[in-house]
Amino acid sequence: MIAVYPGSFDPITVGHIDIIQRMSSKFEEFHILVAKSGDKEYFFSEEERVDLIKGALPKISNLKIHIGSGLTIDFAKKIKADCILRGLRAISDFEYEMAMANMNKKLAAEIETLIVFASPQHHFISSRLVKEVARHGGDLSGLVPPIVEQALMKKQE
Ligand code: COA
């Protein structure tokens, strides 16, 4: 089975890493797609986000990281993925995820969206809040890996 785990990863947090570590071994191929979400303005460039993902993760033999420019479902079709994987933290994520899953289903019925619950200790973590904490010089330990913490601090200088 082949899975795509798409997201903005701006930046990758311990919540994303938890999902990747729990799920990557369940698939023959596990692809992380750094994709663009609507009109979101990003703090890190795509290349920076890829470098942070690479630096934050241990070696995972079946993992590949990509930058996406179009629809996630088109990328999933191109690499013959069986499913798109998304993490769900709270009920507030649900409607957005359901709309995206249904639209992707309409575009390619053969590809399933798989939803995995984030671990409870990560439910409050989001990239936006992490950036806000960083902007005000708050403590980022336990929220992002050290490489991301350093990158966030450097951007504030
Ligand atoms: N633990 C903690 N936080 C998590 C998490 C987890 N397991 N999973 C997601 N998050 C957070 C992220 O940090 C992010 O926080 P933010 O909104 O404060 O930045 C938030 O949840 C959602 O982020 P993410 O999972 O990166 O999704 P996204 O909404 O930014 O990305 C795309 C959505 C990029 C996957 C989607 O827009 C996409 O596929 N774009 C390409 C074009 C396309 O196909 N569009 C869809 C058409 S149906």
Choose among 133, 14, 8: nearest CA to 67.
8
In the reported structure, the alpha carbon of residue 104 is separated from the centroid of ligand 1 by a whole-number distance in angstroms of 14
Predicted confidence band of residue 157 (pLDDT cuts 50, 70, 90) = confident
In this prediction, residue 39 carries a pLDDT of 86
Residue-averaged pLDDT of the chain: 96
Q: In whole angstroms, how far apart are CA 105 and each of 27, 87, 93, 109, 125? A: 21, 17, 18, 5, 28
For residues 71 and 36, give the distance between their C-alpha atoms in angstroms, rounded to a whole number. 9
Model-level pTM?
A: 0.95
User: Among the residues of the chain, which ranges form H helices?
Assistant: 14-23, 46-56, 72-78, 91-107, 127-135, 146-156
pLDDT tens digits, residue range 73-96?
999 999 999 999 999 998 889 999
Cβ–ligand 1 distance for 24 under 6 Å, the answer no
Give distance in angstroms: CA of 34 to centre of ligand 1.
Answer: 9
Residue of the nearest CA to atom 25 in ligand 1?
7
Q: What is the dihedral of CA 69, 72, 77, 82, to 10 degrees?
A: 150
| Cβ pair 134, 6 in contact under 8 A | no
From 26, 40, 80, 135, active-site residue: 40
For position 92, what pLDDT does the model report?
Answer: 86
Give pLDDT, residue 155. Answer: 85
- Atom number in ligand 1 closest to CA 74: 44
pLDDT in tens, 5-63: 999 999 999 999 999 999 999 999 999 999 998 888 999 999 999 999 999 999 999 99
- The 2-7 sheet, strands edge to edge: 63-67, 29-34, 2-7, 83-88, 112-117
Ligand 1 pocket residue status of 116, Cβ below 6 Å: no
16 is catalytic: yes
Q: Per the structure block, which two tokens stand in for 75?
A: 């990328």
Cβ-contact 33, 72 below 8 angstroms: yes
- Measured distance CA(26)–CA(150) in Å, rounded: 31
Q: Is 40 a catalytic site residue?
A: yes
Q: Is the C-beta atom of 122 inside 6 A of ligand 1?
A: yes
Structure confidence at residue 19 (pLDDT): 98
